[in-house]
Amino acid sequence: MKSGIPGFDEMVGGGFHQGTVNTITGSSGTGKTVFASQFIHHGIGQGEKGMIITPSESAEYMRREMMSSFGWDFGALENDGKLSLIDVTDPVLRLQKSIDVDPVDFLINFRKLVERKLQEEKPKRLFIDDLTAFFMAVEAPFKIRSLTDDLFGTIRSSGVTCLVTIGTAFGTNQFLEYGADSATMLNRERIGNTLIRSIYVMKMRGSKIANSIRVLDISDDGISVSTLSPYP
Amino acid sequence: MKSGIPGFDEMVGGGFHQGTVNTITGSSGTGKTVFASQFIHHGIGQGEKGMIITPSESAEYMRREMMSSFGWDFGALENDGKLSLIDVTDPVLRLQKSIDVDPVDFLINFRKLVERKLQEEKPKRLFIDDLTAFFMAVEAPFKIRSLTDDLFGTIRSSGVTCLVTIGTAFGTNQFLEYGADSATMLNRERIGNTLIRSIYVMKMRGSKIANSIRVLDISDDGISVSTLSPYP
Amino acid sequence: MKSGIPGFDEMVGGGFHQGTVNTITGSSGTGKTVFASQFIHHGIGQGEKGMIITPSESAEYMRREMMSSFGWDFGALENDGKLSLIDVTDPVLRLQKSIDVDPVDFLINFRKLVERKLQEEKPKRLFIDDLTAFFMAVEAPFKIRSLTDDLFGTIRSSGVTCLVTIGTAFGTNQFLEYGADSATMLNRERIGNTLIRSIYVMKMRGSKIANSIRVLDISDDGISVSTLSPYP
Amino acid sequence: MKSGIPGFDEMVGGGFHQGTVNTITGSSGTGKTVFASQFIHHGIGQGEKGMIITPSESAEYMRREMMSSFGWDFGALENDGKLSLIDVTDPVLRLQKSIDVDPVDFLINFRKLVERKLQEEKPKRLFIDDLTAFFMAVEAPFKIRSLTDDLFGTIRSSGVTCLVTIGTAFGTNQFLEYGADSATMLNRERIGNTLIRSIYVMKMRGSKIANSIRVLDISDDGISVSTLSPYP
Amino acid sequence: MKSGIPGFDEMVGGGFHQGTVNTITGSSGTGKTVFASQFIHHGIGQGEKGMIITPSESAEYMRREMMSSFGWDFGALENDGKLSLIDVTDPVLRLQKSIDVDPVDFLINFRKLVERKLQEEKPKRLFIDDLTAFFMAVEAPFKIRSLTDDLFGTIRSSGVTCLVTIGTAFGTNQFLEYGADSATMLNRERIGNTLIRSIYVMKMRGSKIANSIRVLDISDDGISVSTLSPYP
Amino acid sequence: MKSGIPGFDEMVGGGFHQGTVNTITGSSGTGKTVFASQFIHHGIGQGEKGMIITPSESAEYMRREMMSSFGWDFGALENDGKLSLIDVTDPVLRLQKSIDVDPVDFLINFRKLVERKLQEEKPKRLFIDDLTAFFMAVEAPFKIRSLTDDLFGTIRSSGVTCLVTIGTAFGTNQFLEYGADSATMLNRERIGNTLIRSIYVMKMRGSKIANSIRVLDISDDGISVSTLSPYP
Ligand SMILES: Nc1ncnc2c1ncn2[C@@H]1O[C@H](COP(=O)(O)OP(=O)(O)O)[C@@H](O)[C@H]1O
Ligand SMILES: Nc1ncnc2c1ncn2[C@@H]1O[C@H](COP(=O)(O)OP(=O)(O)O)[C@@H](O)[C@H]1O
Ligand SMILES: Nc1ncnc2c1ncn2[C@@H]1O[C@H](COP(=O)(O)OP(=O)(O)O)[C@@H](O)[C@H]1O
Ligand SMILES: Nc1ncnc2c1ncn2[C@@H]1O[C@H](COP(=O)(O)OP(=O)(O)O)[C@@H](O)[C@H]1O
Ligand SMILES: Nc1ncnc2c1ncn2[C@@H]1O[C@H](COP(=O)(O)OP(=O)(O)O)[C@@H](O)[C@H]1O
Ligand SMILES: Nc1ncnc2c1ncn2[C@@H]1O[C@H](COP(=O)(O)OP(=O)(O)O)[C@@H](O)[C@H]1O
Ligand SMILES: [Mg+2]
Ligand SMILES: [Mg+2]
Ligand SMILES: [Mg+2]
Ligand SMILES: [Mg+2]
Ligand SMILES: [Mg+2]
Ligand SMILES: [Mg+2]
């Protein structure tokens, strides 16, 4: 399945595999949300219905940012029934997210919500924006592992192709990457006085991947992988 | 929205976005308070009402320091109704800050105070000086995340443009930067026997940012970003 | 016993010793599962019955991946009685794996399951895919040690030759390698802009091992050890 | 206010500000006590009454050391009413310091003692020798912060100019520096086979500070800042 | 007392001192068991009775490995009454080693077992294979220290010369080395693409030790210290 | 007071100050016990009575080692009443040292024992061999600090000159050095393939100390500071 990120599919020998869960890891501002949004936006252009679930930022906010940064009109695509943008904090979903809720309960309910929404909407592409804070709240690594397995299992069995973004602030990225079908790392490295965005695919099950770190560019046209390498 | 920091707006393609929360991170003495105070002072010069909330230092202290360092007369501006300087320890506010108060309660009440003050004063620019100590006191990262989301959400929905300074002593900067719309880092780096102030914008949602580290200068005229890079 | 990994047996003076437990350690995507699967697949080609126990991924998933990546038809081999692929989450096994089960209980029951299956199936080669998450859940290192000793003892006394893969995300690899008869490390190292897979045998009791780090290749033909070294 | 340390006032554009709290941080033996004692001794020579509070070493000990090292006769100055040297372990003060006292209680009582003594003696210069061990004993950073704010507030409102020395052994220096008006760092760096004392001013609110690391000398004449830099 | 390791006695000016406890520390596969087994085997060749206590691996396993690796027939030596190989898990010893036993109790009983066995068998050389896992299970360093003192005291007072191997996986090596009469470190260092075994004697009370790191070789003839140094 | 270590007194401008507590810190085998024993032995040669307190090794053991290593006959000196060697585990002292005793109690009783012994024997030089394990067992740094203050205060007020050795394995050295009058560091540094012993005086209150790291030699004549520096 074409990622829609120019240069990326060549790195992994053809794009993401259908029915897989793929992580995009990076610290704040490395381009995770742009990468995954473009994956969704590109899919819609191919006639593949998209779904975005934002556990930590309001959907309204994402609509505005993608419009102003890249001219992607998510609101219009929602109205056309080509995209469903789900804000878990929406009271209709009754998925309480507050300081009083138990993170394990939240994650179990979150999994159920994802399952129901996938059945209702039957999207081809799914993007779940950074839910590491919730996993971080689960103390036992053993439980994190089980909850990840359950969520990823639910997603895989629906046949949708999914991107999950992961912040590095919470130190749980390893647990999620561990259970994923592919793991991509976004970085920003200091070369002299300059900070260069970089991308590197750590693994993709079933694919031969490029053994190299590449430069990642963000411009008004969106995100793309350059054939350049970040190191001089 | 012009930052009022010479050289900064060029780094981020035009300044801060209106209605956003922006973090300024750095260790003690890197210039965070000067940077954000100048943002407020500049706004007032543009006819934009300012508000400063100081959770950890007395307002009186800030008035004196800004006057003596840069000749910015915050007291006069307050009298003219152009600035409101709020000291959370003011007994009138009844926002108890003591070793007996529960940090979560404090943060919830702090959010309510901010909300009320924004409604009453309707400032265009807001500066909240370093509240990391309070977040640090919250043990579960999950709760820090929720409390940050709530506070930042409250601020955004008021339409004010906000700068939040963050000390690095408490290790919580990542959690706050995570939920912010832009994240700027101030540093002091040793080049030989000299310590150079530096600035670097880690992210700004919706803007193309300069991929470089610049020198930051503080003089009697205030703070400014040089076009020089700190490394030889 | 021939490993079936071209180039590996020469590194360790002849292959794995029969009736031993051997660990393959590496971070996500370094090739652990491919290495151990090829060991099983090669054995079957030699007429040695194989067994694969997957505590953390569904057997179905492994069947598909090995078929699509390397054309190894595990499903057909199972039907021919040459391979048994055991998914511990299979309800028939009643080996509950959930967030409510006590990890010590799970590991004790897991050992019993392995023991029973080895008696029933009498395989010559065994591959247990990454059970570090379970060990990680055991708090006292002392207990991890005892549980490892018990499991490895059970396996050794059956006479089967076993490969155990170990993820590094959970920090327990040292405990398992400690009790194993050989320990092999898979890595991915950055040489300039390139990431090279590497292999290194840390110990093999009773064998003279090559004191060198070698390049590891994965292609459509499977995994193999090159005579090249990863460093220029 | 002149520090009395030759070369220091030039580094910070004129000395310490009156009515401020200033930290001197460094590991054991870097010269903190000598630096702050000279600040007091110099003040007395200028007709400014001094006060020294030693929470962790007996006053008698300090009298002997300053006499033998630099010929400063603190005992005589006390008799002349120019200096008051307060040993918190003095039974008269009833400020119990033992392994049974709660550190928070100790710090609250310590603040009260400081307040009372400042009122009684009305010194112009105050030196509090290393109370980090007490802060270290307070577990919640949030409480350390509050207690620091309270103590520093008490001192500032008395108008005295205060130096607080901070050992690095206890890891709490950041919390205290954070709330201080200036922060100076003393170090000992290995250059080849030699260990050179160095000084560096991290921040001084309201002053332009030298952006450089300087050599610090201790001799029979006391401590002084050289114009040399420690690095070749 | 000659160690029996070619090249080692020259490093320490003559070998181990009689009636001492000596640690051999190293990570998994560095050659600790081979080193200490050769010490025992060599002693037997000199007419000195040997004893090996294996708390963590079955004696049977050690017999097989030493035979196949180096042709040392431990089984025959036991039959001849020249060696006693004690497996603490032997039910006859009633030294329960399970996940339910308290590590402190285990270590106290272990000390008693060692004492009794030394009285019964009166060996000249003793080798205790890696009991760090047990010490690791004791939480208070203070208790580890006491238990080590007790065990080492028991051994010394019997007059036997003892080697204790220590794995580094458990982080307790420092505590054991601390109380030992000599401490030797085995390592494997990467020089380019090659991994070289090395040996270094950290301390030997009462002996002048070589201040150098040497290469350690393992071959069919056993282990020996080369006069080469591992670094080019 | 002459240390008796050739080359050391020149480093610190004359030796140790009378009536002070001085720490000698270093990892296992760096020469701490030899350094402090020579200090005692030298004092006896000058007619100054010595006392050695060994909390962690039997006195008998020290007698043998010093005799065999350097020909210092501590047993004879004890018989002549010139040295008293106190083993705290001596049942006569009733200073129980076992895994059941509370470390705080032990340290309080230890202080009393030291006080009593100093009064009874009136030595001029005291050497306390490594009691870090006991301090390590005290959890609150605050209490460690108090207990150190008490012990060091007791020693100082007796007028004896004391050396306390401190192992680095327990991480408490900073707390003890902190309260001491001088702090000396012994090291072993790897220069190429060679390990060189080194010495460095971190602080000595009231003395100008050499700002350099020197080579330390141990030979049959005891320990001495070379004028060489360890680095090439
Ligand atoms: N039109 C644009 N041109 C260049 N850079 C942009 C543009 N729009 C946004 N960006 C940059 O892209 C980044 C967006 O990153 P984002 O995907 O939100 O990061 P993450 O999700 O990893 O935190 C921001 O740092 C922003 O500066
Ligand atoms: N007029 C001035 N000229 C130069 N530097 C100044 C001037 N006034 C203040 N400063 C410096 O600016 C810094 C102020 O930093 P501040 O904004 O308070 O830091 P932060 O809030 O990050 O702790 C101080 O270190 C001070 O030395
Ligand atoms: N046919 C192929 N050619 C080249 N590389 C492949 C091929 N099939 C799979 N791979 C690579 O092999 C790796 C498989 O690793 P895997 O054994 O699953 O890792 P681990 O078990 O250590 O997590 C993946 O990163 C994938 O990119
Ligand atoms: N007259 C002197 N000449 C040179 N150095 C001295 C003299 N007197 C004391 N010193 C040195 O000054 C240091 C005193 O440091 P001090 O201020 O007590 O350190 P701190 O308070 O940071 O632990 C000691 O290390 C000592 O060696
Ligand atoms: N005959 C031999 N020739 C060369 N190397 C051998 C031979 N026999 C065993 N070895 C090596 O010696 C090592 C044995 O180490 P061992 O003493 O068991 O390590 P440890 O006890 O430190 O874990 C193994 O790594 C093995 O590869
Ligand atoms: N006669 C000697 N010649 C040379 N070195 C010796 C001699 N006697 C002992 N040593 C060395 O001195 C060291 C003694 O160190 P020691 O003072 O016991 O260390 P610590 O107390 O720091 O653990 C030992 O490592 C030993 O090798
Ligand atoms: Mg994002
Ligand atoms: Mg500030
Ligand atoms: Mg795998
Ligand atoms: Mg001091
Ligand atoms: Mg071993
Ligand atoms: Mg010693």
**Is C4 in contact with C42 (CB distance < 8 Å)?**
yes
Give me the helix-helix angle, C141-158 and C103-121, nearest 10°: 10
CB contact (8 A) between residue E178 and residue F167? yes
Q: Is A171 part of the contact surface with chain C (CB cutoff 8 Å)?
A: no
F/E Cβ contact: 3+ pairs below 8 Å? yes
Pick the ligand that lies closest to the CA of residue B209. Answer: 1
B25 contacts B183 by C-beta, under 8 angstroms: yes
Q: Whole-angstrom Cα distance, residue D59 to residue D51?
A: 12
Contact status of A58 with chain B (Cβ, < 8 Å): yes
Nearest beta carbon to residue C203 from set E29, E137, E194: E29
Q: In what order do the strands lie in the sheet with B214-219?
A: B83-87, B50-54, B125-128, B161-167, B21-26, B182-191, B194-204, B214-219, B222-225
- The span from the CA of A110 to the CA of A115, in Å, is 9
- Look at residue D100 in the predicted model and tell me its pLDDT: 66
The DSSP output letter for A169 is T
Determine which of C108, C142, C174, C185 to mutate to test the interface with E (most E C-beta atoms within 10 Å).
Answer: C142
Residues of chain A with pLDDT under 70: 56-57, 90-100, 133-134, 136-137, 139-142, 169-173, 232
Contact (Cβ atoms closer than 8 angstroms) between residue A19 and residue A53: no
CATH superfamily of F8-196: P-loop containing nucleotide triphosphate hydrolases (3.40.50.300)
By Cβ distance, the residue of C99, C190, C194 closest to A147 is C99
The C-alpha atoms of residue B180 and residue C16 are separated, in whole angstroms, by: 54
| Residue E11, CA distances (Å) to A128, E6, E202, E215, F66 in order | 62, 10, 11, 12, 21
Asked whether residue B115 carries a pLDDT value surpassing 80, the answer given is yes
Q: Which residues of B touch A68 (CB under 8 A)?
A: 206
Q: What does the pLDDT read at residue B188?
A: 86
Is D136 in Cβ contact with F183 (below 8 Å)? no
d(CA B116, CA B81): 17
* Residue D172, token pair as written in the block: 């709490």
With H, G, I as helix, E, B as strand and everything else as coil, classify residue D187.
strand
Contact D206 B98 (CB under 8 A): no
Nearest chain A residue (CA) to B150: A98
Ligand 6 near E206 CB (within 6 A): yes
Closest-approaching ligand to the CA atom of F70 = 6
Say how many Å lie between the CA of residue A168 and the centre of ligand 12: 45
d(CA D204, CA D181) in angstroms, rounded, equals 6
Mean pLDDT, residues C40-44: 98
Residue type, A114: V
Q: What percent of chain D has pLDDT over 90?
A: 55
Helix (H) or strand (E) holding F10: helix F8-11
What SS3 class is residue D125? strand
Q: Which helix (H) or strand (E) holds A50?
A: strand A50-54
C8-32: per-residue pLDDT in tens?
Answer: 999 999 999 999 999 999 988 899 9
Substitution site in A52, A130, A218 for ligand 1 pocket (most atoms within 8 Å of beta carbon): A218
User: CB neighbours of F55 closer than 8 A, spacing ≥ 6?
Assistant: F88, F97, F110, F128, F129, F130, F131, F133, F134
Nearest CA in chain F to D63: F206
User: How many Cβ pairs closer than 8 A exist between chain B and D?
Assistant: 67
Considering only CB atoms, A205 lies closest to which of C65, C136, C195, namely C65
Distance CA B43, CA B15 (A): 12
The reported pLDDT for the residue numbered C147 is 85
- Closest approach of chain E CAs to the CA of C37, in angstroms? 25
Q: Whose CA is nearest to atom 6 of ligand 6?
A: E208
DSSP 8-state secondary structure symbol assigned to residue A212:
B
- What is the per-residue pLDDT for B118? 97
Whether D99 contacts chain B with CB within 8 A: no
Type of residue at E112? K
Helix F59-70 × helix F32-45 angle, to 10°: 80
The pLDDT assigned to D30 comes to 92
Can you tell me whether residue F220 is helix, strand or coil?
Answer: coil
Q: Which residue of B has its CA nearest to D142?
A: B137
The stretches in chain F having pLDDT less than 50 are none
Q: What is the pLDDT of residues F40-52, one digit of tens each?
A: 999 999 999 999 9
With a 6 Å cutoff on the Cβ, whether E197 touches ligand 5 is: no
Question: Which chain A residues are within 8 Å of C96, Cβ to Cβ?
Answer: none
CB pairs under 8 A between D and F: 66
pLDDT on residue A168: 75
| Cα–Cα distance list, D197 to D226, F14, F210 (Å) | 10, 21, 12
- The reported pLDDT for the residue numbered F209 is 87
A55 in contact with B, Cβ within 8 Å: no
The alpha carbon torsion through A103, A109, A113, A119 (nearest 10 deg) reads 130
pLDDT value for E169: 58
Chains linked to B by 3 or more Cβ pairs within 8 Å: A, D
Give the count of beta carbons closer than 10 Å to the beta carbon of residue F98.
12
Q: Does ligand 5 lie within 6 Å of residue E31's CB atom? A: yes
Q: Ligand 6: which of F164, F218, F226 to mutate, judged by most atoms within 8 Å of the beta carbon?
A: F218
Q: DSSP for F185-202, please give it.
A: EEEEEEETTEEEEEEEEE
Over residues B209-218, the mean pLDDT reads 90
Instruction: Please report the pLDDT score of residue D75 as a whole number.
Output: 97
Predicted local confidence at residue A24, as pLDDT: 96
**Residue-by-residue DSSP string for A110-146:** HHHHHHHHHHHH--SEEEE---HHHHHT---HHHHHH
Of all residues in chain A, the percent with pLDDT exceeding 70 is 87
Using alpha carbons, select from A126, A198, A134 the residue that is nearest to residue A163: A126
D144 contacts D135 by C-beta, under 8 angstroms: yes
CATH superfamily assigned to domain E8-192+201-225:
P-loop containing nucleotide triphosphate hydrolases (3.40.50.300)
The CATH code of the domain at A18-190 is 3.40.50.300
Residues 6+ apart with CB under 8 A from F214: F7, F11, F198, F199, F200, F225, F226, F227, F228, F229, F230
Residue F127 identity: F
What is residue F172's predicted lDDT score, i.e. its pLDDT? 60
Q: Environment class of residue B67 by beta-carbon count within 10 Å: exposed (0-12), middle (13-18) or buried (19+)?
A: middle
pLDDT digits (tens, 9 = 90+) for D132-165: 766 766 766 667 777 888 899 899 999 999 999 9
B58 inside 8 A of chain D by CB: yes
Q: Which residue has the higher pLDDT, C40 or D230?
A: C40
Chains near C with 3+ CB pairs less than 8 A apart are A, E
Nearest to D174 among B61, B169, B220 (CB): B169
Residue C154: pLDDT above 90?
yes
pLDDT value, residue A181: 92
Across the interface, of D97, D170, D194, the residue whose CB is closest to F141 is: D170
Ligand closest in space to the Cα of C68: 3
Q: Chains A and C: how many Cβ contacts under 8 Å?
A: 66
Q: Is D100 on the interface with F (CB under 8 A)?
A: no
The per-residue pLDDT for A49 is 98
Residue C169 has pLDDT above 60, yes or no: no
ipTM over 0.90? The verdict is no
pLDDT of residue D182: 94
pLDDT at res. D232: 66
**Strand residue runs (E) in chain D:** 21-26, 50-54, 83-87, 125-128, 161-167, 182-191, 194-204, 214-219, 222-225
Is there a contact between B193 and D232 (Cβ–Cβ < 8 Å)? Answer: no
Ligand 3 binding pocket includes C68 (Cβ within 6 Å): no
> What residues contact F101, with CB distance under 8 A and at least 6 apart?
none
3-state SS class at A15: coil
Residue whose CA lies nearest to ligand 6 atom number 16: F31
- A142-175 pLDDT tens trace: 677 778 888 998 999 999 999 999 987 555 667 7
C-alpha B89, offset from chain centre: 18
* Shortest Cα distance, chain E CAs vs residue F58, angstroms: 9
Per-residue pLDDT in tens (0 to 9) along chain E, 232 residues: 999 999 999 999 999 999 999 999 998 889 999 999 999 999 999 999 999 998 766 788 889 889 989 999 999 999 999 999 998 876 666 565 565 677 788 888 899 999 999 999 999 999 999 877 667 667 666 677 778 888 998 999 999 999 999 987 555 667 788 889 999 999 988 777 788 899 999 899 888 888 889 999 999 999 999 987 776 6
Confidence of residue B136 (pLDDT cuts 50, 70, 90): low
* Alpha carbon of F153 to ligand 5 centroid (Å): 54
- Both structure tokens of A173: 């990225």
| Surface-to-core class of residue C47, CB atoms within 10 Å of its CB (0-12 exposed, 13-18 middle, 19+ buried) | exposed
Interchain proximity E65–C205, CB inside 8 Å: yes
pLDDT for residue E21: 96
Q: Confidence class of residue B164 from pLDDT cuts 50, 70 and 90?
A: very high
Q: Domain coordinates of chain C in residue numbers?
A: 8-225
d(CA D149, CA D175): 10
Interchain CB distance below 8 Å, F208 and D197: no
Between CA D212 and CA D202 the distance in angstroms is 10
Non-local (6+) Cβ contacts of A153 within 8 A are C58
Question: Which pairing describes strands F182-191 and F21-26: parallel, antiparallel, or unpaired?
Answer: parallel
Give me the residue from F97, F188, F220 closest to E146, CB to CB.
Answer: F97
Strand B21-26 and strand B161-167: the pairing is: parallel
DSSP at E153: H
Residue of chain A minimizing CA distance to B228:
A193
E171 contacts in chain F (CB < 8 Å): none
What SS3 string covers chain B?
Answer: CCCCCCCHHHHCCCCCCCCCEEEEEECCCCCHHHHHHHHHHHHHHCCCCEEEEECCCCHHHHHHHHHHHHCCCHHHHHHCCCEEEEECCCHHHCCCCCCCCCHHHHHHHHHHHHHHHHHHHCCCEEEECCCHHHHHCCCCHHHHHHHHHHHHHHHHHCCCEEEEEEECCCCCHHHHHHHCCEEEEEEEEEECCEEEEEEEEEEECCCCCCCECEEEEEECCEEEECCCCCCC
Contact of chains E and C by CB distance (3 or more pairs under 8 angstroms): yes
D179 three-state secondary structure: helix
A133:B141 CB<8 A: yes
The residue in chain D having the minimum alpha-carbon distance to the alpha carbon of residue F214 is D193
Q: Do F141 and D65 touch (CB under 8 A)?
A: no
What's the mean pLDDT when you consider all of chain D?
Answer: 87
Q: What is the pLDDT of residue F55?
A: 77
Of C30, C97, C194, the CB nearest to A211: C194
Split at pLDDT 50, 70, 90, the class of D211 is confident
The answer to whether residue C173 scores a pLDDT higher than 70 is no
CA–chain centroid gap for D199, Å, is 14
Residues 6+ apart with CB under 8 A from E105: none
Q: How confident is the model at residue C4 (pLDDT cuts 50, 70, 90)?
A: very high
- Asked if E199 contacts E6 with a C-beta cutoff of 8 angstroms, the reply is no
Tokens of D68: 């033998």
> A49's torsion region: left (phi>0), alpha (psi -120 to 50) or beta?
beta
CB E26 within 8 A of CB E183: no
Q: Is F197 on the interface with E (CB under 8 A)?
A: yes
Asked if A179's CB is within 8 angstroms of C99's CB, the reply is no
Lining ligand 4 with CB less than 6 A are: D 26, 28-34, 69, 218-220; F 203-209
Specify whether domain C8-225 bears CATH 3.40.50.300: yes
Cβ(B214)–Cβ(B227) under 8 Å?
A: yes
B71 inside 8 A of chain D by CB: no
CATH superfamily, with its number, for domain D18-193? P-loop containing nucleotide triphosphate hydrolases (3.40.50.300)
Contact, F136 vs F106, CB < 8 A?
no
Q: What is the pLDDT of residues B30-65, one digit of tens each?
A: 999 999 999 999 999 999 999 999 876 678 888 988
Going by pLDDT thresholds of 50, 70 and 90, the confidence category of residue B143 is confident
Say if residue C227 is exposed, middle or buried (CB neighbours under 10 Å; 0-12, 13-18, 19+): exposed
Reported as a single tens digit per residue, the pLDDT across F17-42 is 999 999 999 988 899 999 999 999 99
And the tokens for D53?
């509070």
Q: Are C16 and C209 in contact (CB under 8 A)?
A: no
Q: What angle do CA D52, D57, D59 make, to 5 degrees?
A: 50
What per-residue confidence (pLDDT) applies to F120? Answer: 96
**pLDDT mean over C142-151:** 81
